[in-house]
Amino acid sequence: PARPPGIGHPPRLPAGALTEAEAKALAAAYGIPVTRGILARSVEEAILAAEAIGYPVVLKGVSRAVVHKSDLGLVKLNLPNAAALRAAYAALPDIRLEGVLVQEMARGEAELILGARWEPGFGPMVLVGAGGVLVELLRDVQLMPAPLRPEDAAAMLRRLALWPVLDGVRGRPALDVRAAVEALVRLSWLAADLGPRLIEMDLNPLLLRAAGRGAVAVDARATIG
Ligand code: ADP
Ligand code: MG
């Protein structure tokens, strides 16, 4: 398959679990759109970050040890102003954090999961499915070896149970399937380039907007070997 344009060299990566910000920087290096975010180490820094990004914002506690942030109360969505941000900061659970991530509050019509992993004895694989915090419950995923051609990525999306939602059903708008295809192809090249060093990565969720309005990854995780 043809390599998409605008992919540089993969950044130097430490071994182990990446933070959300590090995993998003890796995705962004492959041209995958990610939410704007600033790492802060105090509530005052968080407020400055929120002013730079613009309200409403999202506040997330950062810890490499945590896999599901929302389960621990580490994700505070849609904070409209500094008072709400202060309250959310004060309500973070009492666990050791590397800081807090202040992010733009993104909007989308559907949540996808995009994943990549190295399968020993087989090679790099990518996955796409119905995403968000219910992903394990829904089990609506498709897998293929990387790298992908755009037509492979499109075929994976069409095989999902979620497909009618992406395609526009019952008066709902058709979503930006091209943006989802583009993100999946780019993730597949990331997986192919990193090879066995990419133990696993997921973008969950990638928010998908109406056709022509694009997609954005609001969460990312990766483990590097
Ligand atoms: P985790 O998956 O570790 O629990 P996420 O960062 O995925 O944490 O946040 C949980 C949910 O909150 C996401 O599935 C998404 O629905 C929503 N969310 C997270 N970040 C944003 C954001 N920047 N903008 C809008 N919604 C978000
Ligand atoms: Mg998530």
Give the domain CATH number at 45. 3.30.1490.20
What tokens were used for 47?
Answer: 């407020």
The rounded Å distance from CA 126 to ligand 1 centre is 21
User: Does the interface ipTM go beyond 0.95?
Assistant: yes
In a domain, 220, yes or no: yes
Q: Which ligand is nearest to the CA of 69?
A: 1
Answer with the one of 104, 125, 147 that is the final residue of a domain. Answer: 104
Task: Kindly list the distances between the CA atom of residue 84 and the CA atoms of 97, 165, 169, 179, in Å, as whole numbers in the listed order.
Answer: 20, 33, 36, 33
Residues 72 and 122 in one domain: no
Pocket (CB within 6 angstroms of ligand 1)? 35, 58, 60, 68-70, 75, 77, 103, 105-106, 111, 132-133, 205, 218-219
The rounded Å distance from CA 5 to ligand 1 centre is 29
Q: Which residues, 6+ apart, have CB-to-CB distance to 94 below 8 Å?
A: none
Residues 129 and 220 in one domain: yes
> Which atom of ligand 1 sits closest to the CA of residue 60?
6
Please provide the DSSP assignment of 74-105 as one string: -EEEEE-SHHHHHHHHHTS-SS--SEEEEEE-
Task: Kindly list the distances between the CA atom of residue 139 and the CA atoms of 70, 161, 169, in Å, as whole numbers in the listed order.
Answer: 19, 10, 21
In a domain, 7, yes or no: no
Please provide the DSSP assignment of 117-161 as one string: EEETTTEEEEEEEE-STTHHHH--EEEEESSPPHHHHHHHHHTST
In a domain, 8, yes or no: no
The rounded Å distance from CA 133 to ligand 2 centre is 6
Residues 157 and 64 in one domain: no
> Which atom of ligand 1 sits closest to the CA of residue 35?
23
Phi-psi region of 181 (alpha: psi -120 to 50; beta: other; left: phi over 0): alpha
Task: Confirm if 14 and 74 have CB atoms less than 8 A apart.
Answer: no
Nearest residue (CA) to ligand 1, atom 16: 132
> Which atom of ligand 1 sits closest to the CA of residue 67?
3
Q: Is 194 helix (H, G, I), strand (E, B) or coil?
A: helix
Q: What is the DSSP letter of 110?
A: E
Full residue range of the structural domain in which residue 74 is found: 37-104
In this prediction the pTM is: 0.96
What does the pLDDT profile of the chain (225 residues) look like in tens digits?
A: 899 999 977 778 999 999 999 999 999 999 999 999 999 999 999 999 999 999 999 999 999 999 999 999 999 999 999 999 999 999 999 999 999 999 999 999 999 999 999 999 999 999 999 998 788 888 999 999 999 999 999 999 999 999 999 999 888 999 999 999 999 999 999 999 999 999 999 999 999 999 999 999 999 999 999
The rounded Å distance from CA 69 to ligand 1 centre is 9
Answer with the one of 88, 104, 120 that is the final residue of a domain. Answer: 104
